[in-house]
Structure 1
Amino acid sequence: MTTLELAEFVQATDYEDLSPDVRDALKRRVLDSVGIAVAAEVADPTQVVFETVRDLETDGACTLWGRDGDGASPVQAAMHNTALTRYLDYMDSFLAPNETPHPSDNVGAVVAAGEYADRSGEDLLAGLAVAYEIQGELAWNAPVRDRGFDHVTHTVVSAAAGASKLLGLDLEETRNAIGIAGTAHNALRVTRTGGINEWKGIASANAARNAVYSAMLAKNGMEGPRDLFEGQKGWQDVISGAFDVDLTPGERVHDAMTKRYVAETYAQSAVEGVIELAEREDLDPDDIAGVKLETFAGAKLIIGGGEGNRYEIDNRAQADHSLPYMLAAALIDRDLSLEQYEPDRIRREDVQELLRIVDVSEDSELTERFENGEMPAVIDVTTDDGTTYRIEKEAFHGHPLDPIGWEGLEAKFDAIAGEHLEDDRRDELVETIRTLEDQDVADLTALLE
């Protein structure tokens, strides 16, 4: 894998190279991201990002989504808008055996670069295809989690590539942008271990900002390491190890899943399963003696206790990375949406007591099944009278094995954005995104002010 190889892929990929299925899938990724962003505008951490952007800039060519006409540079817009698409932990995920990044983290950066450069919707789709493909290939072939790096280490590279496409950089400028981004901005895994805090939901926004800044530097003549990946003490030597990629015009977008529930990626099947079990057996939470989840290695590691205590839950950032909390809340409420992450709900006695009798264990067979493309979960709920109820899942609705189409995504969009946008604005956004190849990037961002 060489830095030139990535830059050549960016240069070679245009809208005409994308299959109709890839174009459609990318548009659905945009709709999902926009809906999540609208709902995240009122969150305290995203407000902190907005206030910081306002402290640094008072005007600019790019729209700050949801901020009533406020503008900023593409760099700061990428930070702000990515914070919105990412913070609620409701975004898409790419499922690789040893890494699970969120390729929608690229959307804010690529849109900002496209708005700044006055690009078309076709250009935007090409840039998103580039970013999704690179993010997926890095996750699959060069996982960094076990080496102590966060998955946004991939994002800064993929977003820099997508931004370079929209900014119209030539081959050497693109190579420089990727070199700067990947050399200077490698994030540590400590973001998601131990006592998790709100930076978890903002780290990818920081990566998106750094990606666009790297591309802007390259656009204006800054040279970067030409051998980011292959050079001595470069990315492969220090971070990932040697690897190769097989780049296609955006086909990796089909490996991105849509979250059905507001929960960490690896929890989706388990949450869906416990809700189905609670409804099927009409379980009374007061009668539960124990909950046992058998899951795969990654879920146990990240949200089941392998990277820190997942039973001491006091805030949103801890709750959406705790299988015990998510299963307890879903069993009690028979839902796991934004309401289950309100501070009062998190701290309520019923869920705090139930989460402590949730046992999470890894099953090697389930790990093998996950590595072969499923997201399996086996859940046993035992009641006070000794009866045990079981449900087994191989995937969830939204997984690539059971994808959510336009109808489901529009329903999700209406559910999370409904209280923030009038019906006609939602309808206009959906139609603009559905026909993105006939629009300009500015047509989309004008609806996000």
Structure 2
Amino acid sequence: MTTALKLAEFVRETDYDDLSADVRDALKRRLLDAVGIAVPAEVAGPPQAVRRTVTALEDDGPCTLWGRDQRASPVGAAMHNTALVRYLDYMDSFLAPGETPHPSDNVAAVVAAAEFADRSGTDLLAGLAIAYEIQAELAWNAPVRERGFDHVTHTVVSAAAGASKVLELDLEETRSAIAIAATGHNALRVTRTGEINEWKGLASANAARNAVYAAMLAKHGVAGPRNVFEGQKGWQDVISGPFEVELTPGERVHDVMTKRYVAETYAQSAVEGVVELAEREDLDPAKVAGIKLETFGGAKLIIGGGEGNRYEVANRAQADHSLPYMLAVALIDRDLSLAQYDPDRIRRNDVQQLLRIVDVSEDPALTERFENGEMPAVIDVTMDDGTTYRVEKDAFRGHPTDPIGWDGLAEKFETVTDEFIDAERRDDIQALIRSIEDHKVTDLTALLA
């Protein structure tokens, strides 16, 4: 059986009734997290540019643009709403040895397709379970980072699968949707190397848009290459190398982490550690002589200088992918939230000076521990008088080994949305998501308009 057919059969055969109670609960928490982090992104420049682009092309449509008094096609809504979920870099992550995608990149695409098709909350959960499972399996078994492709190359496949489910495509239509997505929309890793710019926060939105469009093309009769993965010059030949997937109804959602801090995934343990150290020892940032972080290979590669200079930090996109910046500002402010990415905060002399004495190195033993499921970090802060303070972390609050439950997610949701929506609407959104199986998707999107 080809991989495309295997994925398509999984999409067709997986329904709400196949999901365990724990999987359903976890998916609802993923949905709440994605919706919450989208709200403060509404005022950011790049998502605003996406809104202007979408509405310039479409002045109306069947789907809600979250946070706006405007509507668009499911394709435009997937682009816009995914940009909101992804832009602030506060989204969830799946931790695989060679790849770390963000499964919440699928959420807005599946919601848009479900809103368009007027589906129920149970249909939505089934679509999300499929998307999360396929995203995780591709990340684990078919990493593409080392071959020069971005992780949203997986997202376009998983989101197309989730969208196909809620659009009720048949088997051949679903296979075509997956094939069109996997053939035509493979993204380059250059997005996250060198001098990073704002496309980093929008690449997954583009993937989500392409995923929904692929599903809509298949729905209306367009066929994709039947052997897209194993065929000559196909996905395995060019993009990933050989791989196999083992799919279960949504169980991979339990391996997804929740970000505690507004920071790139691999920084979470280190940031939590430096905040704990600064508070425990009451560190004076003006008297710090050096900060040394020993970390695992992926963190050194992506945000520690392996894929470009991480000491020249001038904008938000560069800041949230710079371990020197994140550790420096977290030590000074004893926090790493939205305020630490204000342009004036990024440019301030205290953090610009401190980040330049942050040293990041890979420890092979920590890399091995990461590949075995931890997210380790060892941080030494040396003061002007020669005193050195150390903190060691195995993981962080929000890691799959220490998950954040409903109470923690409700706190995060309320914190990030407090300035943007009133308490009554916050309560209504949380209550509806917790009982989403009793509602239609349009009930949710009405609250998000």
Q: CA deviation at 1:36?
A: 0.6
Q: CA deviation at 1:88?
A: 0.2
Residue matched to 1:417:
417
- In 2, the alpha carbon distance for the partners of 1:12 and 1:228 equals 21
Is residue 2:32 matched to residue 1:31? yes
Residue matched to 1:16:
17
- Normalization by structure 2: what TM-score? 1.00
- In 2, the alpha carbon distance for the partners of 1:189 and 1:203 equals 10
AA matched with 1:26? L
AA matched with 1:62? C
Residue matched to 1:100:
100
Q: CA deviation at 1:374?
A: 0.3
AA matched with 2:441? V
- In 2, the alpha carbon distance for the partners of 1:253 and 1:40 equals 24
Residue aligned with 1:382, SS:
strand
Residue aligned with 1:356, SS:
helix
Deviations 1:74-130 (A, max 9, x none): 000000000000000000000000100000000000000000000000000000000
Residue aligned with 1:380, SS:
strand
Residue aligned with 1:137, SS:
helix
**Identity across matched positions, percent:** 79
- In 2, the alpha carbon distance for the partners of 1:248 and 1:360 equals 38
Q: CA deviation at 1:382?
A: 0.2
- Spell out structure 1 runs of 4+ moving beyond 2 A: none
Deviations 1:28-85 (A, max 9, x none): 00000001111100000000000000110000000000002x1100000000000000
Residue matched to 1:7:
8
Residue aligned with 2:310, SS:
coil
Aligned counterparts, 1:22-421, within 5 A: 22-68=23-69, 70-421=70-421
Residue aligned with 2:312, SS:
coil
Residue aligned with 2:448, SS:
coil
AA matched with 1:392? E
Residue aligned with 1:41, SS:
helix
Equivalenced residues, count: 448
AA matched with 1:40? A
- In 1, the alpha carbon distance for the partners of 2:231 and 2:3 equals 9
Residue aligned with 1:292, SS:
strand
- In 2, the alpha carbon distance for the partners of 1:198 and 1:236 equals 30
- In 2, the alpha carbon distance for the partners of 1:246 and 1:164 equals 20
Deviations 1:203-254 (A, max 9, x none): 0000000000000000000011111111111101111011111100000001
- In 2, the alpha carbon distance for the partners of 1:135 and 1:348 equals 39
- In 2, the alpha carbon distance for the partners of 1:349 and 1:373 equals 37
Deviations 1:279-302 (A, max 9, x none): 000000001000000000000000
AA matched with 1:431? A
- In 2, the alpha carbon distance for the partners of 1:12 and 1:345 equals 50
Q: CA deviation at 1:415?
A: 0.3
- In 2, the alpha carbon distance for the partners of 1:364 and 1:38 equals 39
Unaligned runs of 5+ in 2: none
Residue aligned with 2:300, SS:
helix
Q: CA deviation at 1:2?
A: 1.4
Q: CA deviation at 1:272?
A: 0.1
AA matched with 1:61? P
AA matched with 1:115? E
Deviations 1:135-166 (A, max 9, x none): 00000000000000000000000000000001
Q: CA deviation at 1:315?
A: 0.2
- In 2, the alpha carbon distance for the partners of 1:66 and 1:302 equals 32
Residue aligned with 2:381, SS:
strand
AA matched with 1:395? A
Q: CA deviation at 1:363?
A: 0.2
- In 2, the alpha carbon distance for the partners of 1:436 and 1:35 equals 16
Residue aligned with 1:242, SS:
coil
- Normalization by structure 1: what TM-score? 1.00
- In 1, the alpha carbon distance for the partners of 2:88 and 2:411 equals 17
- In 2, the alpha carbon distance for the partners of 1:2 and 1:287 equals 57
AA matched with 2:77? A
- In 2, the alpha carbon distance for the partners of 1:54 and 1:233 equals 37
AA matched with 1:177? A
Residue aligned with 1:389, SS:
strand
AA matched with 2:35? V
- In 2, the alpha carbon distance for the partners of 1:200 and 1:245 equals 28
